[in-house]
Chains A and B, each alone.
Chain A
Amino acid sequence: GESVGLHLPTLSVQEGDNSIINCAYSNSASDYFIWYKQESGKGPQFIIDIRSNMDKRQGQRVTVLLNKTVKHLSLQIAATQPGDSAVYFCAENVIGSYGKLTFGQGTILTVHP
């Protein structure tokens, strides 16, 4: 069946450090992946996405890596800032699923000044 999970439920870093948040997925039919940031009391906010025909995609201070061989996804945040503190979710979309996203459990990122 489908499942998307995270290795680490919490991550604490110092301001300026690089952060890496990991995600494992089990459905090889998934072809699109998104990382979302969720701040307290708010909805998921899009960070970056990647299609299954890519293994790396970069944005502003963020990079997503996809390893289809081991069904692993990671989000790298460079020079982490206190404003990056939030819960981070990976989500996957399965081919033919009419846009349904399956979310992982979430990782709490805390950035200390």
Chain B
Amino acid sequence: EPEVTQTPSHQVTQMGQEVILRCVPISNHLYFYWYRQILGQKVEFLVSFYNNEISEKSEIFDDQFSVERPDGSNFTLKIRSTKLEDSAMYFCASSGGLANYGYTFGSGTRLTVV
């Protein structure tokens, strides 16, 4: 069964440092997403990406965040200057069309900012 792959599974970084979280979406999917989940809380939408541009973003996704699809297979989330409150699980997802076409999540990257 096709999977969304995320690396690394766990990343520890110092406050103020830049981090890049990486994702390989399902190969024939067209829509890509990032979500985050703070420990013990619900999953929150960050951003959706289609046709090489951001389709929608949440209030959380401020100027410190950016996304990129640098080649035909990877989808990255960059946090420029991490804060303690950025510590969370970050999930990548992809779908073939919009929400009702095989919407699949990766296993997540646990980001710890110290």
**Interface pair A43/B105, CB less than 8 Å apart:** yes
**Bound complex: CA A97 to CA B100 (Å):** 12
**B99 near A93: Cβ-Cβ < 8 Å:** yes
Least CB separation from A4: chain B residue: B42
Please give me the residue from chain A that is nearest to B44 by CB atom.
A103
Contacts of A34 in B (CB 8 A): 99, 103
Main SS class of interface, A: strand
Q: Indicate whether B43 reaches chain A with its CB closer than 8 angstroms.
A: yes
B75 within 8 A of A: no
In the complex formed, the residue of B with least CB distance to A5 is B42
Of the candidates B4, B35, B103, the one having the most CB atoms from chain A within 10 angstroms of its own CB is: B103
Range for the number of chain A residues in contact with chain B? 20 to 34
Choose among A34, A45, A97, A105 the residue with the greatest number of B CB atoms under 10 Å from its CB: A97
How big is the B interface, by class?
Answer: 20 to 34
A105 to B41, CA, bound (A): 7
Contact of B31 among A46, A98, A104 (CB under 8 A): A98
A51 at interface by CB-CB < 8 Å:
yes
C-alpha spacing A104/B42, complex, angstroms:
6
What 1/0 mask marks residues of chain B from 11 to 24 whose CB sits below 8 Å from any chain A CB?
Answer: 00000000000000
Point out the residue from B43, B50, B100 that lies within 8 Å of A93, measured CB to CB.
B100
Judge whether B45 and A102 touch: CB under 8 Å. yes
Give Cα A98 to B103, complex, Å.
Answer: 12
Complex CA gap A80/B104 in Å reads 24
How far is the CB of A6 from the nearest CB of chain B, in Å? 9
Q: Does B48 contact A (CB under 8 A)?
A: yes
Q: Top 8 closest A-B pairs, CB basis?
A: A98-B55, A43-B105, A93-B99, A103-B43, A98-B56, A99-B98, A98-B48, A99-B99
Interface residues, chain A, with chain B CB atoms under 8 Å away: 32, 34, 36, 41-46, 49, 51, 89, 91, 93, 97-106
* B interface residues, Cβ below 8 angstroms from A: 4, 31, 33, 35, 41-45, 48, 50, 55-56, 58, 91, 93, 95, 98-100, 103-108
A49-B100, A97-B56, A100-B56 given; name 10 further pairs at CB < 8 Å.
Answer: A32-B100, A34-B99, A43-B107, A44-B91, A89-B42, A99-B33, A99-B48, A99-B103, A100-B99, A103-B43
